[in-house]
């Protein structure tokens, strides 16, 4: 699937993508660059981040820990100092949690999930807004999850950390809509990021695991990261100029799907009457 649309919605604009070296973040970075943006990619994986920057002229890389407010503030200050503007931010950095029942989840995993998935998004938005207020506005897109509104067993702490992302964009909309700052969230379903691909490959039965992953979507397949990136680019663009405080499912129909026999056996699902 293509990372580019042939449009130039971001020509002359400066954007930031956290967690931008792989998966959804990488796809968004490439999509924004293909539409004309200068993209600052932030990621803790310096090898992947620098390789991405070396492969795409419009992409720069910085190693920043999004859980550290001083580092995030310095990142934003540096972007505006170098480029004179900050038009769009994709707050995408996040981690997964191990499959555990809520009462069996160690406190440290709660702390880790909230530090990255919740606090990291909060700090990224907070320090971006400081500059956007001075620069006349901007747009923010945050990566949440379908687990913001519905969940599976044994993923409670991850769901808690992602549900706060929806609240964050609503808070920004309530506070800053009249200041020309928009904020929205995307709620991806199962997406074939490198992390998910490794999960499938490492499963006891990779073929069955892929079928199970595909079966979670009404469309009976996982998303390609470029499909999630297309939604993020839309929300960051002026095409979404009257959308703020929203959480957009990009999930292949996951949230519309009640579990049925085909969830465990995709071969039972028939697309034709």
Answer yes or no: are the C-beta atoms of 37 and 4 closer than 8 Å.
no
What does DSSP assign to residue 105?
A: S
The CA distance from 4 to 6, in Å, is 6
Burial 4-30 (b: 16+ CB within 10 A, else e): eeeeebbeebbbbbbbbbbbbbbbbbb
The CA distance from 254 to 262, in Å, is 13
The CA distance from 85 to 209, in Å, is 45
Determine which one of 61, 152, 158, 176 is catalytic: 158
Q: Reply yes or no on whether 176 is catalytic.
A: no
The CA distance from 234 to 247, in Å, is 13
Q: Name the CA radius of gyration of the chain, rounded.
A: 18
Strand ranges across the sheet with 88-91:
59-62, 38-42, 14-18, 88-91, 138-143, 181-188, 247-250
* CB atoms closer than 10 angstroms to residue 90: 31
Of 19, 108, 16, 125, the C-alpha closest to 69 is 125
* CB atoms closer than 10 angstroms to residue 248: 18
Catalytic residues: 158
């Amino acid at each position: 699937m293509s990372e580019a649309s042939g449009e130039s919605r971001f020509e002359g604009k400066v954007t930031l993508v956290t967690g931008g070296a792989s998966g959804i973040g990488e796809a968004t970075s490439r999509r924004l660059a293909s539409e004309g943006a200068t993209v600052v990619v932030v990621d803790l994986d310096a090898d992947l981040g620098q390789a991405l920057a070396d492969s795409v002229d419009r992409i720069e890389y910085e190693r920043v820990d999004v859980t550290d407010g001083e580092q995030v503030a310095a990142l934003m200050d540096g972007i505006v100092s170098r480029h004179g503007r900050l038009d769009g931010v994709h707050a995408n950095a996040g981690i997964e949690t191990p499959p555990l029942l809520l009462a069996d989840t160690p406190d440290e995993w709660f702390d880790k999930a909230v530090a990255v998935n919740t606090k990291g998004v909060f700090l990224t938005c907070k320090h971006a807004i400081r500059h956007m207020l001075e620069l006349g506005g901007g747009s923010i897109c945050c990566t949440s999850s379908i687990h913001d509104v519905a969940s599976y067993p044994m993923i409670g702490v991850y769901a808690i950390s992602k549900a706060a992302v929806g609240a964050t964009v609503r808070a920004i909309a309530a506070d800053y809509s009249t200041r020309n700052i928009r904020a929205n969230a995307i709620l991806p379903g199962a997406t074939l990021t490198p992390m998910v691909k490794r999960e499938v490959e490492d499963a006891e039965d990779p073929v069955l695991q892929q079928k199970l992953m595909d079966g979670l979507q009404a469309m009976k397949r996982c998303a390609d990261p470029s499909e999630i990136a297309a939604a993020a680019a839309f929300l960051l663009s002026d095409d979404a100029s009257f959308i703020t405080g929203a959480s957009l499912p990009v999930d292949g129909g996951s949230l519309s799907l009640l579990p049925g026999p085909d969830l465990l056996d995709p071969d039972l699902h028939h697309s034709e009457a």
